[in-house]
Amino acid sequence: KLILPTLGHPLHQETSSEVSWDSSHQNANHANDKSELFKDYNGMWKSHLENTDLYAEDSQHPMAKETRQRDKLNLVTERLRARLRQELQELRDRLWPYPTFPQQDLAKVKQLLGPLIDQLQGSLAAHTQEHCDKLGLHAQELESVSGSNTQEDACSQRVMAWIGQSQIDSNKKIAAYIHNFKSQTSSTTEELTDTVQKHLLQTVVARLGREADAWMLEVQGRMGLLRLSLAELRLSSLPLRDSVSSRLGEFCQTSVAQNQQLIATLEQQLSQLREQGSGDMSIIPPLNRLDTLRGDFTSQLRDLLRDIMHSII
C-alpha cells in the first residue's frame, strides 16, 4: 500500500550540470546561435588546410606521394615527346633533299652547268699555256747568260724574281677563274622556279664548288713546291740553267694534267648524277647518306636519353 504513492510521484532532481546542458542545447537549436557557435571552428579548420602542405617531400600520405610522382612523370613525358617530335622533324628535313628525281630534272641541271664547266676548262687551258710560255721565256733568258760569275748571279736573281712574280700572278688568275665559276653556277639556281629542280641544282652546285676549292688548294701547294725547289737549286752545286728549265717543264706538265683532272671530276659529277637518275637512285647512296646523318643524330639522341634518366631519377 505504501509503494503505490511512491511510484506515482517520481522524484525530479535537477543538478547544476543538467541545467547547464539543457540551456546550451536550447541555444544551439536556435538557427542564429548555431552559426555563431561553429564559426570559430570553421575558421580554425580552413586555416589548418591553408597552412598544411599535403604534397611535401616528408608527407606521410602514400596517395599524395603517388599522385605527385605521377604528375611529374606526365610532365616529363610530354616534354620528351615534344623533343622527339622536333628531332624526328629535323631528321625528315635532312633526308628530304635526297629523293629520286625524274630524268628531265637531271637533264635540266646538266644543261645549265655543262656550259659553265666547258668555259672553265677553256679558261684554265688558255691561262696555263700563257703562263708556261712566260716561264719558258724566263728559262731561256737564264740559259743565254754568259760572262762572269757576278753577272750570272745577278741575272739568276732577276730571273728567279720574275718567275716568283709570275707564279703569284698565275695564282691570282686561277683563283679568279674558280671564284667566277662558283658564282656563275650559284646564279643558275635563280633561273629555276620549279622547287625540285632548284633544290637539285643547289645540291650539285655545292658539290662542284667543293671540288673546285679542293683543286685550288692543290694548285697553291704545287706552286709552293716549285718555289722551294728553285730556292734549293740556288743553294746547290748543280748547274742552275739546266735545273731550272727541267723543273719548270715538269711544273707545266703537272699543271696541264691537274687542269684535266679538275674538268674530269666536275663532268663526272654530272655523269654520275645522270646515271643515278636513270637508275632511279638518289643523288647520294643511302648507306653514305645514313653514315653522314648517324653522327649528329646519335649525339642528339644520347643527350635526350641522358635528360630522360635525369628527369626520372
pLDDT digits (tens, 9 = 90+) for 66-113: 677 667 666 766 777 677 767 666 665 554 444 455 677 777 888 889
Q: Is the pLDDT of residue 229 over 70?
A: yes
Reduced to 3 states (helix: H, G, I; strand: E, B; else coil), residue 57 is coil
- d(C-alpha 78, C-alpha 81), whole Å: 5
Does 239 lie in the same domain as 277? yes
Q: Is the pLDDT of residue 20 over 50?
A: no
Name the phi and psi angles at 252, rounded to 5. -65, -40
Most confident of 53-62, 160-169, 252-261, 299-308: 252-261
What pLDDT score was predicted for residue 223? 87
Which has the higher per-residue pLDDT, 147 or 120? 120
Q: How many domains does the chain have?
A: 2
Q: Is the pLDDT of residue 277 over 70?
A: no
Most confident of 219-233, 282-296, 299-313: 219-233
Does 106 lie in the same domain as 76? no
Q: Mean pLDDT check: name the lowest of 29-33, 161-165, 299-303.
A: 29-33
Q: What DSSP state is assigned to residue 13?
A: -
Dihedral (CA of 224, 227, 231, 237) sign: positive
- Give the DSSP per-residue string, 262-313: HHHHHHHHHHHHHHHHHTT--SS-HHHHHHHHHHHHHHHHHHHHHHHHHHH-
Does 140 lie in the same domain as 87? no
Q: From 179, 180, 174, 161, select the one nearest 131 (Cα to Cα).
A: 174
Does 220 lie in the same domain as 206? yes
In a domain, 299, yes or no: yes
Q: Please give the share of the chain, as a percent, with pLDDT higher than 70.
A: 53
Does 238 lie in the same domain as 201? yes
- d(C-alpha 160, C-alpha 176), whole Å: 25
Query: Which amino acid would we find at residue 264?
Result: A
Does 186 lie in the same domain as 94? no
In a domain, 150, yes or no: yes
- d(C-alpha 276, C-alpha 297), whole Å: 26
- CB of 79 closer than 8 Å to CB of 310: no
Does 123 lie in the same domain as 245? yes
Q: Is the pLDDT of residue 7 over 70?
A: no
Burial level of 128, CB count in 10 A (0-12/13-18/19+)? middle
Average pLDDT, the chain: 71
pLDDT, one tens digit per residue, over 263-275 is 999 998 888 765 4
In a domain, 63, yes or no: no
Q: Is the pLDDT of residue 244 over 80?
A: yes
Which has the higher per-residue pLDDT, 176 or 306? 176
**Cα→Cα distances 90→106, 204, 298, Å:** 26, 22, 13
Reduced to 3 states (helix: H, G, I; strand: E, B; else coil), residue 71 is helix
Q: Would you tell me how many other CB atoms lie within 10 Å of the CB of residue 293?
A: 13
Cell of 285: 647512296
Cell of 89: 622533324
State the average pLDDT over residues 55-60: 50
- The residue segments making up the domain with residue 93 are 71-98+287-313
Q: Is the pLDDT of residue 295 over 50?
A: no
Does 166 lie in the same domain as 123? yes
**Reported confidence tier of residue 40, pLDDT bands at 50, 70, 90:** low
Which has the higher per-residue pLDDT, 290 or 25? 25
- d(C-alpha 89, C-alpha 3), whole Å: 103
Cell of 146: 754568259
- d(C-alpha 68, C-alpha 275), whole Å: 61
Q: Mean pLDDT check: name the lowest of 44-53, 111-120, 172-181.
A: 44-53
**Cα→Cα distances 216→124, 128, 177, 184, Å:** 12, 14, 10, 17
- d(C-alpha 285, C-alpha 272), whole Å: 11
Name residue, grid cell 586555416.
Answer: 47
Does 291 lie in the same domain as 223? no
Which has the higher per-residue pLDDT, 149 or 277? 149
In a domain, 15, yes or no: no
Does 175 lie in the same domain as 114? yes
What pLDDT score was predicted for residue 161? 86
Does 236 lie in the same domain as 91? no
- CB of 76 closer than 8 Å to CB of 311: yes
In a domain, 156, yes or no: yes
- The runs of H, that is alpha helices, within 144-239 are 149-187, 195-235
Q: Please give the share of the chain, as a percent, with pLDDT higher than 90.
A: 21
Q: Would you tell me how many other CB atoms lie within 10 Å of the CB of residue 234?
A: 14
In a domain, 31, yes or no: no
Does 142 lie in the same domain as 237? yes
In a domain, 60, yes or no: no
